Amino acid sequence: MQLLVIGATGGTGRQAVSQALNRGHYVTALVRDPGKLTIQHDNLTVLEGDVLKPETLLPAVRRQDVVICSLGGKPGQPDRSVADGTKNLIAVMQQLDIRRLLVVSSFGVGTSYVDAPLFSKLFLKTFLSGPIAEKEVQEQAVRESGLDWIVARPTRLTDDAATGQYRVAEHVKLPAFSMPRISRADVATFLLDQLTNDRYLGRALTITGAKG
């Protein structure tokens, strides 16, 4: 398949690129700084662009089968690229009639907040309040897009290797006093497993490790 990865220089995005290439897909990565993406492959096309500049999205989105959006902000740093960038991406996908959109959001957004341990709720409402607010706007735009979308809300992310074992549901029972982890590699695996799978269409799902 032809895949576009937005946010390909981030941890999850980089995993999505690498694993998609290993599966034999053709991947386009849209990045602001091509020098930050060190992956090299005959089936990889790297385009310089910015989600806040819709004109740079058009050549990247055109002729794709699926778009994976793995945009993320940093705590304490004002950044509208997640919310506004996703809105721009959706508009271009609608214009070009590209239907399937897979989005990496965050645990604590939307309905997943009620499942968070108490300490994590305090953390989400303080230190992560900015990025969570961006993700709330992002998810609303996705829900209203009319596209064939799936949103993954990972818990605490790690750089561990993929295990292929994780839990996915709209509500996941978590420990009372700790936040379970999941590797970025496993999140990428889940996303790539949804390229043609309609089971989770139109759903926002918590994804976390198999234990805890």
Contacts of 53 (CB under 8 A, 6+ apart): 88
- In this predicted structure, what is the pLDDT of residue 75? 55
In degrees to the nearest 10, what's the CA dihedral of 25, 50, 144, 104? 50
Res 141: pLDDT:
98
The answer to whether 90 touches 145, Cβ cutoff 8 Å, is yes
Which of the four pLDDT bands, split at 50, 70 and 90, describes residue 72? Answer: confident
CATH number of 2-209: 3.40.50.720
Predicted structure pTM score: 0.93
For residues 172 and 208, the answer to whether their CB atoms sit within 8 Å is yes
CB-based contacts of 171-174 (< 8 A; 24+ apart in sequence): 171/111, 171/112, 171/114, 171/115, 171/206, 172/115, 172/206, 172/208, 173/115, 174/115, 174/116, 174/117, 174/208, 174/212
Rounded to an integer, the average pLDDT of 50-76 is 90
For 207, how many CA atoms within 13 A lie in the half-sphere containing its CB? 28
Local confidence band at 174 (pLDDT 50, 70, 90 cut-offs): confident
Identify the helix (H) or strand (E) that includes residue 156.
strand 156-158
pLDDT digits 0-9 by tens, 1-46: 999 999 999 999 999 999 999 999 999 999 999 999 999 999 999 9
* Better-predicted residue by pLDDT, 104 or 79: 104
Cα angle at 31 between 25 and 37, to 5 degrees? 70
Please tell me the distance from the alpha carbon of residue 125 to that of residue 60, in angstroms, as a whole number: 35
Q: What does the domain layout of the chain look like in residue ranges?
A: 2-209
Q: Is the pLDDT of residue 118 over 90?
A: no
Whether 67 has a pLDDT exceeding 90, the answer reads: yes
Other Cβ atoms less than 10 A from the Cβ of 155: the count is: 26
Write the single-letter amino acid at 1.
M
How much is the pLDDT for 138? 96
Pure H helices in the chain: 11-22, 54-61, 81-96, 118-125, 129-143, 184-193
Q: Do 29 and 61 touch, CB atoms closer than 8 A?
A: no
